[in-house]
Chain A
Amino acid sequence: MKLIIVAGPPSAGKTAVIRQILRHLPEKSAAYLKIDVIYATEDEEIASEFGIPARKVISGDLCPDHAGIMVLSDALLWAGKEGAEYLIVESAGLCLRCTPYTTESLGIAVLSAIGGTHSPYKMAPMIALADAAVVTRIDLVSQAEKEVFREGIRDVAPDIEIIETNAMVGTGMRYLMKMIDALHEITDAAGITLRGSPPLGVCTVCVGKKQIGWSNHFGVVRRLDSAGSLFRGE
């Protein structure tokens, strides 16, 4: 089994990129799992378009990336039973703090070029811990903004592979496909771990305390002037 984990903010073009990957892979060699918070239909679309096993997990009150980690070992077993050679996981990646990428996988961050030139900074962990950053909607932006966007990604993750694409057509995807073709089989499914550190502990907001201000909370607290300027997820 080979594992591909695709993350990115809502409507970034994750499913469009996955469709291109599925067109590249040998027919019916993949299984697809979508993890979203509230609503998702991609599993049905992908199943009927490509005739492959597809499922979804709605995470509800759990962070979607946490939900993904919880179900991942079951999902690998499921994909194996279905006879798939690849498991492709699409994560909603909503909180921008967590990252779903694991060891023994190819981690792909998908971001949209029309998100504004600051958006790479706002998604720093999601990009910095990935192997590839795929920038979609490159067909819609000016050359200047393309270049500035790329610089932003480089700032956050100096060594990441950057792939600019019109994901509808699949332009520029050849370097992503090369990475996929070079992906290794999982050697030790039980030993797979998250690449990034998950958010610290559980704070009292998580357990339902609604008052504002750090003095109303205990455990992990944060004051206004203790904030850093960029978090990359390590």
Chain B
Amino acid sequence: MHTITILPGHDRHGNPETFEPLHLRPGDTIAIVGPTGSGKSAFINDIEVFAQGDTATGRRILLNGAPPPEQFVRDPACKPIALITQTTKCLADLTVGEFLAMHLRARKITECDLIERTVALANEFTGEPIRGECRISSLSGGQTRSLLVADAVIISNAPIILLDEVENAGIFRDRVITCLKKTGTSVIFVTHDPLVSLMSDRRIVMGHGAVLAVLEPDGSEAEVLKRVTEIDAYLSSLRERLRSGEVLNETVVAA
């Protein structure tokens, strides 16, 4: 079991950050919010490289209370962290099955049901079915993201996943959060998405390159979360109906 601790650094002008050491335990979800340029990506990059005061932010990241062993930082196959960004792509011209098999080979894993399990999990995350025979290059953005998250959980077996603005269309964010919680995976979302922000256990607010606040839900946002969940389900259903060729000519009751 891994606990990640984030120790404060400083903002863009060198003023120290004031947050208490932040612990990320198995199954925790954290959302990072803030305007563009506020330091959200720098925050998760710090975690990804296990910064030791040697990045622009001066933060330090500990694994189980200490700086992690070098191999955990350097060898992607030992690293407990998987980072998936908007720009992360599978470049190989392979089928989904071949791609996952390539990853298994690189890790020298021989369990043969992992490919099916990964594809099945990816399909829980997206409404557009992915099959093992699909070519990677023909997957949509949502399908690719879903596959990469499933690959991180099942094949990389990464206890910590960092998702940099991957909420965009075609992926059921609520299911990703619920599933990752179930598997004990810790997740940090950089997000502009109300559903992801409200569903997370904690919310970090960024500004001027620093953590401005760490918010913990006290139940006061429950009603808004309920409403956002309904709106999200409504939008998903519209998306599915449009995809199947329906005309949406019903009357809509104003909210």
A95 to chain B: which residues have CB within 8 Å?
none
User: Which of A66-74, A144-152, A217-225 contacts its partner?
Assistant: A144-152
| Bound complex: CA A166 to CA B55 (Å) | 13
Whether A171 and B106, one on each chain, are in contact in the complex, defined by CB atoms closer than 8 angstroms, is: no
Contact with B along A154-193 (1 / 0, CB 8 A): 0000000010101001111011000000000000000000
Whether B106 and A148, one on each chain, are in contact in the complex, defined by CB atoms closer than 8 angstroms, is: yes
Contact with A along B99-141 (1 / 0, CB 8 A): 1101101110000000000000000000000000000000000
Whether B91 and A145, one on each chain, are in contact in the complex, defined by CB atoms closer than 8 angstroms, is: yes
| Bound complex: CA A150 to CA B52 (Å) | 24
Residue A114 at the chain B interface, CB threshold 8 Å: yes
A15 to chain B: which residues have CB within 8 Å?
none
The 8 Å CB contact of B76, one of A114, A146, A169, is A146
Residue B156 at the chain A interface, CB threshold 8 Å: yes
A171 to chain B: which residues have CB within 8 Å?
45, 48-49, 55
Contact with A along B69-87 (1 / 0, CB 8 A): 0000011110000101101
Whether B74 and A175, one on each chain, are in contact in the complex, defined by CB atoms closer than 8 angstroms, is: yes
A141 to chain B: which residues have CB within 8 Å?
88-91
Whether A143 and B91, one on each chain, are in contact in the complex, defined by CB atoms closer than 8 angstroms, is: no
| Bound complex: CA A150 to CA B75 (Å) | 9
Q: A147-B76, A150-B76, A175-B74 are in contact. Are A142 and B90 (CB under 8 A)?
A: yes
Min CB–CB distance A6 → chain B (angstroms):
20
Residue B151 at the chain A interface, CB threshold 8 Å: yes
Residue B240 at the chain A interface, CB threshold 8 Å: no
Whether B77 and A147, one on each chain, are in contact in the complex, defined by CB atoms closer than 8 angstroms, is: yes
Min CB–CB distance B181 → chain A (angstroms):
21
A172 to chain B: which residues have CB within 8 Å?
49
Chain B residue, CB-CB nearest to A151: B106
Residue A203 at the chain B interface, CB threshold 8 Å: no
**Count, chain B residues at interface, CB 8 A:** 31
Q: A147-B107, A171-B45, A172-B49 are in contact. Are A140 and B89 (CB under 8 A)?
A: yes
Residue B254 at the chain A interface, CB threshold 8 Å: no
Chain A interface, DSSP helix/strand/loop, else mixed: helix
The 8 Å CB contact of A139, one of B54, B74, B76, B85, is B85
Contact with A along B156-189 (1 / 0, CB 8 A): 1000000000000000000000000000000000
Q: A142-B88, A144-B100, A174-B49 are in contact. Are A162 and B151 (CB under 8 A)?
A: no
| Bound complex: CA A4 to CA B88 (Å) | 31
Chain B residue, CB-CB nearest to A115: B91
Whether B102 and A148, one on each chain, are in contact in the complex, defined by CB atoms closer than 8 angstroms, is: yes
Whether A114 and B151, one on each chain, are in contact in the complex, defined by CB atoms closer than 8 angstroms, is: no
A204 to chain B: which residues have CB within 8 Å?
none
Residue B30 at the chain A interface, CB threshold 8 Å: no
B75 to chain A: which residues have CB within 8 Å?
150
* A to B CB contacts below 8 Å, 17 in the list: A140-B89, A140-B91, A141-B90, A141-B91, A142-B89, A142-B91, A142-B151, A143-B76, A143-B156, A144-B102, A144-B103, A144-B106, A144-B155, A145-B90, A148-B106, A164-B76, A171-B55
Other 17 A-B pairs with CB < 8 A, given A140-B87, A143-B84, A143-B156: A117-B92, A139-B87, A140-B88, A142-B89, A144-B102, A144-B103, A144-B151, A145-B90, A147-B76, A147-B103, A147-B106, A148-B103, A166-B45, A170-B55, A171-B45, A174-B49, A174-B52
Q: Residues of B with Cβ closer than 8 Å to A?
A: 45, 48-49, 52, 54-55, 74-77, 82, 84-85, 87-92, 99-100, 102-103, 105-107, 148, 151-152, 155-156
